[in-house]
A and B are shown apart, each in its own frame.
Chain A
Amino acid sequence: MLEVKNLSHVYMPGTPFQVEALKEISLKIEKGEFVGIIGETGSGKSTLVQHLNGLLRPTSGDVLLDGCSIWSGKVNMRAIRSRVALLFQYPEHQLFEETVYKDVAFGPRNLGLDEKELQKRVRYGLEQMELDYESYKDRSPFSLSGGEKRRVAMAGILAMKPEVIILDEPTAGLDPAGRRQLLALIEKLHSEEKLTVIMVTHNMDEVSRLANRLFVFSAGRLVLQGEPAVVFNSPQKIKEIGLELPVLSELLLKLKDSGKNIRTDLFTVEEVGKEILEYFRGGRSCKV
């Protein structure tokens, strides 16, 4: 559905501050995927995702949506941005309207929808984020808690009825309950609303559990890609580029290194617990 072809991006070309932020990136994301993008600060993750809905223009290379270049001039950029919606880091800093309703309606209003459809969209966005329409619509966004503000910002992009949502560190700064709730809602958007999800994150535990595929960036290059089980099976490489393994993967790999015949491709506490129990119950050499 989305394809990046030989994409390079240079910030401030031709000046002393020239930085090559992305180098020859090619990747494909299929409809319905849940993709994780990981890498150190400055590795090019955010630059990449801003290309996916045309916010940045590649210095060279191309971005294709359903096989068509978004820079061919034949497609309407506004239509692209409503199909592929991007939520920035700390999106609540961008809330500015007097009411939650107006804030959520801001994006879809620009699509030229009539008031009735607009209202339906706002209701949809808020409900997807488990914010009750009647009790929130007239409130000031500034009176809300941090977690609620984040969900209002998210409702604003959902109200555009996008097919793809790109989330840049959606849980940064939230408390554990806020993080858990937002991740559950994102999971639901993927599984029930059938949205394609692209999530940039520093949290290896979360992404290993949620994503079906990972793209790993380092210094502007795409250095690893594949299912979490494949990516985190290269612990040396992951550490080299400044990342960490999910703690459960680290545990399983250490057990395996010590000669235990144990699976290392599991990412939830329940699965890992079951695997360890089976191993020891199976009597495959144990002290415990």
Chain B
Amino acid sequence: MSNILELKNVSFDYFLNGETALRALDDISLTIKKGEYIALIGSNGSGKSTLARLLNAILVPTSGEVWVDGLLTSREEHRWEIRRRVGMVFQNPDNQIVATTVEEDVAFGLENLGIDSSQISRRVTEALERVGLSSFRHHAPHLLSGGQKQRLAIAGIIAMRPRCLVLDEPTAMLDPRGRREVLDTIQRMNRQEGVTVVHITHFMEETLEADRIVTMDRGKIVKNGKPEEIFNGETDLYQLGLEIPVLLRLNRILRSEGLDIPANILNLNDLVNILC
């Protein structure tokens, strides 16, 4: 499989009054393959959001290179295309709404791309279907629930047919139902549509469906591997301000007391099946 995202020795400094105030990313290299689902975790201030913003050229590196699908983010003439290929979804659903109806909100990005109106309408229909909001087409976005608003934000992005979706804590402000809806939508995009996903989260449970977890601390990548490797490995996640999902902690207790359970059991149904 080919790489869709490639970071080569990337550093990023935030400046204040002309001086480096903070080195947010420190010599990071990372490649992400087409169709991968990556979970990005780390404590506040570890550099996750900065990294996310480098992926669609909202920020460009202070040094090093970020390649998106063969395009270099620091090249002004590539940026438009990069932003079409890599869509971003942020934490607060209310800050991402731009229009007065659901339909117009999804169409907003497409209009900016100069796509003709019959195609816009088709793409809006399709995008709303994919996030399960078809019946809300003519509704006012501000009356939607938090989970619906986030799915609307995702629809606006996928209508542009991006190859990659970058989500920065998309479920942080949602209730359990909203969270479930958004997670299911992200997973479907990845599994069925082959969209590459980079999902930043503080909820460790949400990372278990990922192909790979990238763990950050103070501007560096500390660990990069499958969920079972990250959570069962030697790295002290607590030291990094992270934690181990509840079921894996339970699994660990059961195994240490001699129950014969595979270490790579990550979800509830598998654990139930093993125990029954």
* Partner-B contacts on A (CB < 8 A): 40-42, 145-147, 172-180, 202, 204-205, 242-244, 247-248, 250-251, 254-255, 258, 260, 269-270, 272-273, 276-277, 280, 287-288
Contacts and interface: CB of A to CB of B under 8 A. Distances in A.
B3 interface: no
Interface centre among B145, B169, B204, B275 (most CB of A within 10 A): B275
Interface stretch (B70-78, B123-131, B253-261): B253-261
A42 B174 CA distance: 11
Q: How large is the interface on B (under 10, 10 to 19, 20 to 34, 35 or more residues)?
A: 35 or more
Contact of B202 (A40, A174, A255): A174
Nearest to B257: A277
Contact of B145 (A42, A247, A258, A270): A42
B271 A251 contact: yes
B268 A251 contact: yes
B44 A146 contact: yes
Nearest to B243: A176
Contacts of A172: 172-173
Given A177-B241, A255-B275, A276-B275, 12 more contacts: A40-B176, A40-B177, A145-B44, A175-B44, A175-B202, A247-B205, A248-B246, A250-B268, A254-B268, A269-B250, A280-B275, A288-B275
B1 interface: no
Nearest to A277: B257
Interface in B251-275: 253-254, 257, 259-261, 268, 271-272, 274-275
A255 B260 contact: no
A277 B204 CA distance: 25
Contacts of A42: 145
B211 interface: no
A205 to B, nearest CB: 6
A270 B274 CA distance: 19
Given A176-B202, A177-B241, A288 B260 contact: yes
A7 to B, nearest CB: 22
A20 to B, nearest CB: 16
A272 B250 contact: yes
Contacts of A273: 250, 253-254, 257
Contacts of A173: 91, 169, 172-173, 202
Interface string B181-208: 0000000000000000000001011000
A174 B58 CA distance: 24
A179 B276 CA distance: 34
A242 B177 CA distance: 5
B250 A202 contact: no
Nearest to B172: A173
Interface of B: 42-45, 91, 145-146, 169, 172-180, 202, 204-205, 238, 241-243, 246-247, 249-250, 253-254, 257, 259-261, 268, 271-272, 274-276
A176 B203 CA distance: 7
Given A269-B246, A272-B250, A287-B276, A147 B173 contact: no
Given A251-B272, A255-B275, A242 B259 contact: no
If over half of A's interface residues share one DSSP class (helix, strand or loop), that class is named, otherwise mixed; here it is helix
B276 A176 contact: no
A168 to B, nearest CB: 13
Nearest to A285: B276
A204 B203 CA distance: 13
Contacts of B259: 276-277, 280, 288
B178 A41 contact: yes
A243 to B, nearest CB: 5
Interface centre among A172, A176, A180 (most CB of B within 10 A): A176
A177 B242 contact: yes
Given A40-B177, A204-B176, A247 B272 contact: no
A234 to B, nearest CB: 15
Contact of A254 (B146, B175, B204, B272): B272
A288 B202 contact: no
Contacts of B172: 172-173
Contacts of B260: 288
A288 B251 CA distance: 13
Contacts of A175: 42-44, 202, 241-242
Contacts of A255: 272, 275-276
Given A177-B241, A202-B174, A248 B250 contact: yes
A242 B44 contact: no
Interface centre among B178, B257, B276 (most CB of A within 10 A): B276
A244 B241 CA distance: 26
A41 B175 contact: yes
Nearest to B241: A177
Contacts of B272: 251, 254-255, 258
Contacts of A178: 43-44, 241
